[in-house]
Amino acid sequence: MKLDEVTISRAILKTHAEIFSGYLDLDIAIVGGGPSGLVCAALAAGDGRKVAIIEKKLSVGGGMWGGGMTFPRIVVQEEARRLLDQFGIRYTEYGSGYFVASSIEAVAKLTAAACDAGAEFFNLTSVEDVVVKGDGRVSGLVITSSPVEMTGLHVDPLTLAAKITVDATGHDAIVAHCVRNKGGDLFIHGEGFMWAERAETNIISHTREIFPGLIACGMAANAVAGEARMGPVFGGMLLSGEHAAVLARESLGR
């Protein structure tokens, strides 16, 4: 076939503008496409819910790609093995109850699951603030282009609405900080020392609505709660993403 460069450009612009515009009023906005955000998206999307991941980097996957200290393997403990099975992530057992998977395969399969479930992705998009109006809920996000943020250009952002927001931004808990920095009644304790067993055990109870309309998920949940960190064991991230999806769906049903 003959190829026309302008048609290629127009195809991208028109298609993306239509999708972007259609996703400016979300049911569930998941900020951060690391492992917890990807699981949350895969399990929260579907049944007509409008779910999107907003990811500031070029690629989703967050801290999972690099495994442990650049060795591209992750460990998942017995409690979360069923999620490896559910997402078709292959693994081998090392010792009793320690399952080792390729970090690359894990990111790829979680991303594919989120796509298949119907979640949309907005990469290179940074959340820089939240919308909180008279009802005191987080009801939207202020977003900018990551290259604009990185270069410090003075360009005004755009805004999207979300019935529920999930902070899955990892150790920095960015959305929670946006709420707190604007005077929202939210105390962020900050992450504790490395203590894998404790961090992995407690992360589910920390995965909760931390401010009206805002659910903390993954390492952000532990950072807000003052909980320990855990390093390259990822069961807690998968389980936290699952729990956040349940909470977000329940909240929409209210």
Is residue 62 near ligand 48F by the rule CB under 6 A?
Answer: yes
Q: Return the range that interacts with ligand 48F (CB under 6 A); candidates 6-14, 85-93, 109-117, 214-222.
A: 214-222
Give DSSP secondary structure letters for 106-148.
HHHHHHHHHHHHT-EEE-SEEEEEEEE-TT-SEEEEEEEEHHH
Is 250 marked as a binding-site residue? no
CB 39 within 8 A of CB 29: no
How far from chain centre, in Å, is Cα 107? 12
Is 16 marked as a binding-site residue? no
CB 144 within 8 A of CB 126: yes
Residues 85-124 that bind ligand 48F (CB under 6 A): none
Among 127, 173, 214, 228, binds ligand 48F (CB under 6 A): 127
In whole angstroms, what is the distance from residue 138 CA to residue 70 CA?
A: 36
Q: Return the range that interacts with ligand 48F (CB under 6 A); candidates 33-41, 78-86, 111-119, 207-215.
A: 33-41
Residues 147-186, mask of contacts with ligand 48F (x by CB under 6 A): ---------------------xxx---x------------
Among 67, 218, 225, 249, binds ligand 48F (CB under 6 A): 218
Token code pair at residue 109: 């399969």
Alpha-carbon Rg for the chain, nearest whole angstrom, is 18
CA nearest to 98, candidates 212, 232, 206: 232
The backbone region for 253, taken as left when phi is positive above 0, alpha when psi lies in -120 to 50, beta otherwise, is alpha
Token code pair at residue 34: 């690391």
Q: Report helix, strand or coil for 2.
A: coil
Residue 153 CB contacts under 8 Å (≥ 6 apart), including other chains: none
Among 219, 239, 244, 248, binds ligand 48F (CB under 6 A): 219
Is 155 marked as a binding-site residue? yes
Among 64, 224, 238, 248, binds ligand 48F (CB under 6 A): 64
Q: How far is the CB of 36 from ligand 48F (least distance, A)?
A: 3
Nearer Cβ to ligand 48F (52/54): 54
Among 166, 228, 230, 245, binds ligand 48F (CB under 6 A): 230
Q: How far is the CB of 244 from ligand 48F (least distance, A)?
A: 10
Q: What are phi and psi of 65, to 5 degrees?
A: -50, -45
Which residues belong to the annotated binding site for glycine? 229
Which residues belong to the annotated binding site for Fe cation? 156, 171
Q: By the criterion CB under 6 A, which residues form the site for ligand 48F?
A: 31-37, 54-57, 62-64, 126-127, 168-170, 174, 218-220, 229-234, 237
